[in-house]
Structure 1
Amino acid sequence: MTETKTILVVGTYDTKDDELRYLSDVIRNQGGAVLSMDVSVLGDPSHPTDVSKHDVAEAGESSIQEAIDSGDENVAMQIMARGAAAKALELYRVGRIDGVIVLGGTMGTDLALDVCGALPLGVPKYVVSTVSFSPLMPPERIAADVQMILWAGGLYGLNSICKASLSQAAGAVLGAARAVEPPKRDRPLIGMTSFGKTVLRYMVTLKPALEARGFEVAVFHATGMGGRAFECLAAEGAFAAVMDFAPQEVANHLFGGLSAGEDRLTNAGRNAIPQMVAPGCYDLVDIVGWQPMPAHFADRPVHAHNRLLTSAVLTAEERRQVARAVSQKLAEAQAPVAVFLPLQGCNEWDREGADLRDAEGLAAFCEEMEASCPETADLHKLDAHINDDAFCDAVLALFDEWCAKGIVKKS
């Protein structure tokens, strides 16, 4: 705590001046420093901010007058969101801020998502919002490491209820800025997707094997937000290679499950990151377990994983749709792609004799995958289950080959 950490405090200072200044006072009273950014349009703050609304609008390649002249608060706030995101990233790059906290209702939260999305992983990002944790926020707009606190009782004016939320948020962002250990990037990073060991187990073998080869491995839980974090880092070019062995969120997006966004299974390819892909849990769609089962999933096998999560089994035709969607996404890749197709099953519940086994559905998927797999991808059919040692052996053999050829960079 010897080094003072500076927090960027963002909000509409014309309407939330008291609340934002209260946040700033708490940060300062805890030994932090504050850099203030005003994103209001019509009014002015009671005191000048470090980054004025005019600075923000200019960073958004516009002006406050243009925002006002638009006559549309949505258009105006998007101007400010672009500028705030660009300005926050600029301030971080020149070392002026160590974290950010944004305060708002729906308008401020819309802007906050852009600001947090502009900053890299490891920069503390806190959003204090009247709609925190709301389904209003699509997963593709939520930064990989953003933190949210519900702004209880904070729609208008200060009170003891909202002060409890604001003071916690102020302490949290400052504490995070002091404690954070940013990614070191001292070893090339492999991004891997999976689920818990009850359904997929390859990471237990692959992670130590890859670490022994000098790589760092990050395994992402592919249940919507995990896949979103994976795609965010792929979009940043953070990975030396990816082993996307649980792209189930593609099926989720197709059929109304826990989506990670439309761009799932695309960002590694777009950024020329070598990809190894396997269809772990391709045959399941994850839905919210405490909500009524959607009508189109009625009368089919399901697995209730816990009170939060239930998985519905896809039909043979739906599995063919998944195969085509996966192939279409991989066809856009700008780096080598290898597809591993385990012919004996793609999750532990899909083994011979298991509860969710559908041999005809598996055969339909494998047939469609073989037919639709792009010519630019190498298809490796394995007479094995995805949880067998043979799957890991095949993956490591090709990985070593890619390293030897320089496809995967060791430094």
Structure 2
Amino acid sequence: MTDRTILVVGTYDTKDDELTYIAEVIRGQGGGVLTMDVSVLGDPSVPTEFSKHEVAEAAGSSIAEAIAGEDENLAMQIMARGAAALTAQLHGEGRFDGVLVLGGSMGTDLALDLCLALPLGVPKYIVSTVAFSPLIPPERLPADIQMILWAGGLYGLNSVCKASLSQAAGAVLGAARAVEPPARDRPLIGMTSFGKTVLRYMVALKPALEARGFEVAVFHATGMGGRAFESLAAEGAFAAVMDFAPQELGNHIMGSAISAGPDRMTAAGRAGVPQLVSIGCYDLVDFVGWQEVPPRLAGQEVHAHNRLLSSVMMTAEQRREMARAICGQLATAQGPVTLLLPLRGGNEWDRPGGPLSDPEGLAAFVAEIRASCPGNVTLVELDAHINDPAFAEAALAQLDRWIAAGVLPRPGAGA
């Protein structure tokens, strides 16, 4: 087994004992450790590999400036910017294989920025007194973050908190040893969807795309799935996207906590990645099933999917708003965009006679898409339902046209 190196980050002026214990556990299992101090006022008992001064300098600032502001929030934001920048630099240089950050609410705030600076696939662990807390909004969470509650560890070491610290130390080292990084030996297509009972196009599309030489990754569009999708799109990981389930955007604008953030449906466009887009579950707003319905949706029909998730049917006016939001996000794209608009519906439940069928609502949405579709988007209307074979065939036909025109490289060409 090849040893791996873990970057251990925290405020060594107040959590020296805990951070030193974590490092000892990692080294005791044969791993290597690099240490980074993100303190402001105090100093560690033993110098760290990366000092608080180097962290502040990476943010274009200094510890003196952080102290002079006399505001701990602003000071830690300086350290968060510096820690994120320095960590990204160190990872680019191949200096470490995984990261573990320890903190209370202040340290967790910093940790989230730091982990967001690392690509998907790098093991990222946060030991936090506010793990799994509603204090943490979904858009702050890196797509592949791991968190564990720092139970009983607010001040000093004890047997209770050692259970959390040792688990985290072993987990991050084990993950760094076991992780299989993306191969990137075939062009990757990112696709969004829901389960096969709701959206079925991926059943036909995945083998057909793989037969053409692509790799296909399907993302479950329930908030964090969209975060992962957008994160990879921003990295330029996708040769093309089939973003057929934009519901997270509707969730966001309607006030649901099941959100991928305000930038959903923009990362691929900013990167110039060719986009095939459609309307899967455009008419539903998902919300946390054990919470109250968001105020904007009160009094509307609710479909309980399970004990965790429920869906509210949008009104005709809300569907128009959703159409405008989709078109607004796509208007910023720097690459080619084709919007496939299936005129017979966007999820299995809204077929004629289905439990969520609403022909007037669908007509309102279609009319608004036609009126709002920006000039950079090619609108293709299909006399089909999104789950009909004709939809998947149309998507493949457009992809093949892009390949033939050189918009997408032919898989294997020049390899």
Interval containing the TM-score (normalised by the shorter chain): over 0.9
2:264 corresponds in structure 1 to: 264
- Per mean C-alpha deviation after superposition, the further-off stretch among 129-138 and 246-255 is 129-138
Structure 1, unmatched stretches of 5+, are none
Displacement of 1:44: 0.5
Q: Which amino acid aligns with 1:71?
A: E
* Structure-to-structure mapping, 1:3-402, within 5 angstroms: 3-257=2-256, 258-402=258-402
- CA–CA distance in structure 1, aligned partners of residues 20 and 185 of structure 2: 40
- CA–CA distance in structure 2, aligned partners of residues 247 and 297 of structure 1: 19
- CA–CA distance in structure 2, aligned partners of residues 299 and 60 of structure 1: 48
Displacement of 1:263: 0.2
- Per mean C-alpha deviation after superposition, the further-off stretch among 91-100 and 196-205 is 91-100
- CA–CA distance in structure 2, aligned partners of residues 207 and 395 of structure 1: 12
1:403 corresponds in structure 2 to: 403
Q: Secondary structure at the match of 1:354?
A: coil
TM-score with structure 2 length normalisation? 0.97
- What's the RMSD between the two structures over aligned residues? 0.9
Q: Which amino acid aligns with 1:318?
A: Q
Displacement of 1:159: 1.0
Q: Secondary structure at the match of 1:380?
A: strand
Q: Which deviations, in whole Å up to 9, do the C-alpha atoms of 1:81-133 show, x marking residues without a partner?
A: 11111111121122211110000011111111111111111111100111111
Q: Which amino acid aligns with 2:82?
A: G
The answer to whether the Cα contact below 8 Å between 2:123 and 2:175 also exists between their aligned partners in 1 is yes
- CA–CA distance in structure 2, aligned partners of residues 294 and 57 of structure 1: 41
Q: Which amino acid aligns with 2:297?
A: F
Q: Which deviations, in whole Å up to 9, do the C-alpha atoms of 1:322-362 show, x marking residues without a partner?
A: 00111111111101100011111100010111111111000
- CA–CA distance in structure 1, aligned partners of residues 271 and 277 of structure 2: 16
Q: Which deviations, in whole Å up to 9, do the C-alpha atoms of 1:162-194 show, x marking residues without a partner?
A: 100000000000000100000111111101000
The answer to whether the Cα contact below 8 Å between 2:126 and 2:148 also exists between their aligned partners in 1 is yes
- CA–CA distance in structure 1, aligned partners of residues 368 and 185 of structure 2: 41
Q: Secondary structure at the match of 2:189?
A: strand
- Per mean C-alpha deviation after superposition, the further-off stretch among 396-405 and 89-98 is 89-98
Displacement of 1:371: 0.9
Q: Secondary structure at the match of 1:281?
A: coil
Displacement of 1:296: 3.7
The answer to whether the Cα contact below 8 Å between 1:327 and 1:372 also exists between their aligned partners in 2 is yes
Identity of matched residues, %: 72
Distance change >3 Å, CA 234–CA 305, structure 1 → 2: same
- CA–CA distance in structure 2, aligned partners of residues 47 and 149 of structure 1: 26
Q: Which deviations, in whole Å up to 9, do the C-alpha atoms of 1:364-388 show, x marking residues without a partner?
A: 0001001111111111111110000
- CA–CA distance in structure 1, aligned partners of residues 127 and 300 of structure 2: 41
Q: Secondary structure at the match of 2:14?
A: coil
The answer to whether the Cα contact below 8 Å between 1:12 and 1:39 also exists between their aligned partners in 2 is yes
Distance change >3 Å, CA 15–CA 237, structure 1 → 2: same
- CA–CA distance in structure 2, aligned partners of residues 406 and 107 of structure 1: 49
The answer to whether the Cα contact below 8 Å between 1:121 and 1:182 also exists between their aligned partners in 2 is no
Q: Which deviations, in whole Å up to 9, do the C-alpha atoms of 1:285-340 show, x marking residues without a partner?
A: 00110112334433322211100000000000000000011111111110110001
Q: Which amino acid aligns with 2:277?
A: V
Q: Which deviations, in whole Å up to 9, do the C-alpha atoms of 1:61-85 show, x marking residues without a partner?
A: 1110000001111111111111111
- CA–CA distance in structure 1, aligned partners of residues 289 and 167 of structure 2: 31
- Per mean C-alpha deviation after superposition, the further-off stretch among 294-303 and 367-376 is 294-303
Displacement of 1:390: 0.5
- CA–CA distance in structure 1, aligned partners of residues 109 and 234 of structure 2: 21
- CA–CA distance in structure 1, aligned partners of residues 64 and 5 of structure 2: 31
The answer to whether the Cα contact below 8 Å between 2:234 and 2:267 also exists between their aligned partners in 1 is yes
- CA–CA distance in structure 2, aligned partners of residues 120 and 224 of structure 1: 18
Aligned residues: 410
Q: Secondary structure at the match of 2:386?
A: coil
Q: Which deviations, in whole Å up to 9, do the C-alpha atoms of 1:3-46 show, x marking residues without a partner?
A: 22110000000000010001011001111111000000000011
Displacement of 1:145: 1.2
The answer to whether the Cα contact below 8 Å between 1:188 and 1:410 also exists between their aligned partners in 2 is no
4+ residue segments displaced more than 3 Å: none
The answer to whether the Cα contact below 8 Å between 1:269 and 1:334 also exists between their aligned partners in 2 is yes
Q: Secondary structure at the match of 1:95?
A: coil
The answer to whether the Cα contact below 8 Å between 1:215 and 1:410 also exists between their aligned partners in 2 is no
- CA–CA distance in structure 1, aligned partners of residues 357 and 178 of structure 2: 47
- Per mean C-alpha deviation after superposition, the further-off stretch among 157-166 and 298-307 is 298-307
